[in-house]
């Protein structure tokens, strides 16, 4: 079984891979995230490809690298990670009582001898929020959980209390659509589990 690398520092992505019994190492990409695409699925794929390529090109041996990036989209506008507590409050205020989409782009690059394979895809999940009071938003932001998350909330954390409904892959909202990833790896002939 060749070495598998997760090109992400996200503890949530690591937990999702561990949950499915994957054997992998973590080597986060350090480059700046740049979006040139306007269509959300393409933007998420572009971000994942950038992370994956950076780590893949830094390694010489036979390896499979998985890069992923998650974005939240409301009314066609991409919401990344909040840069400040005020920005987190703004994001959550715009999401409350409404539905939005979560896109996770995933890129897999694999090298075996002279043979290189690449696949890039994205999953989309619709998330609906309950109405939230200003006080609830401020308390949630002061807790710190929203600060390193796209859209300023964690569905797998304390933010779960605000989620009315999801349509699609729950794990996609957490940060990695592991079922689709497993299927794509299988199609590439790559074994991720021992």
Q: Which of 13, 54, 14, 64 is nearest to 33 (CA)?
A: 54
Q: Residue 50 is inside which H or E element, if any?
A: helix 40-57
Look at phi and psi of residue 191 and say left if phi exceeds 0, alpha if psi is from -120 to 50, else beta.
Answer: beta
Contact at 8 Å (CB) between 120 and 68?
no
- Beta 3-6 vs 63-74: how paired, if at all? parallel
Q: How many CB atoms lie within 10 A of CB 13?
A: 24
Token reading at 27: 């080597």
Catalytic pick from 69, 86, 143, 169? 69
Q: β-strand 63-74 against 99-112: which pairing, if any?
A: antiparallel
Contact 110, 117 (CB under 8 A): yes
148 is catalytic: no
**Residue positions annotated with a catalytic role:** 69
């Amino acid at each position: 079984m060749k070495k598998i690398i997760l090109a992400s520092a996200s503890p949530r992505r690591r937990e999702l891979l561990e949950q499915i019994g994957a054997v992998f190492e973590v080597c986060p990409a350090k480059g700046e995230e740049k979006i040139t695409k306007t269509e959300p699925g393409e933007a998420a794929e572009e971000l994942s490809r950038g992370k994956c390529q950076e780590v893949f090109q830094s390694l010489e041996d036979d390896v499979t690298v998985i890069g992923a990036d998650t974005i939240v989209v409301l009314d066609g506008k991409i919401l990344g990670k909040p840069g400040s507590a005020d920005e987190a409050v703004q994001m959550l205020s715009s999401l409350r009582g409404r539905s939005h989409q979560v896109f996770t782009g995933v890129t897999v690059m694999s090298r075996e001898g002279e043979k290189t394979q690449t696949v890039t895809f994205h999953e989309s999940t619709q998330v609906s929020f309950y109405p939230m009071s200003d006080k609830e938003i401020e308390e949630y932001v002061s807790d710190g959980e929203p600060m390193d998350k796209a859209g300023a909330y964690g569905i797998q954390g304390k933010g779960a209390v605000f989620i009315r409904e999801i349509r699609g892959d729950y794990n996609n909202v957490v940060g990695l659509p592991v079922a689709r990833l497993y299927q794509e790896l299988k199609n590439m002939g790559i074994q991720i589990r021992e």
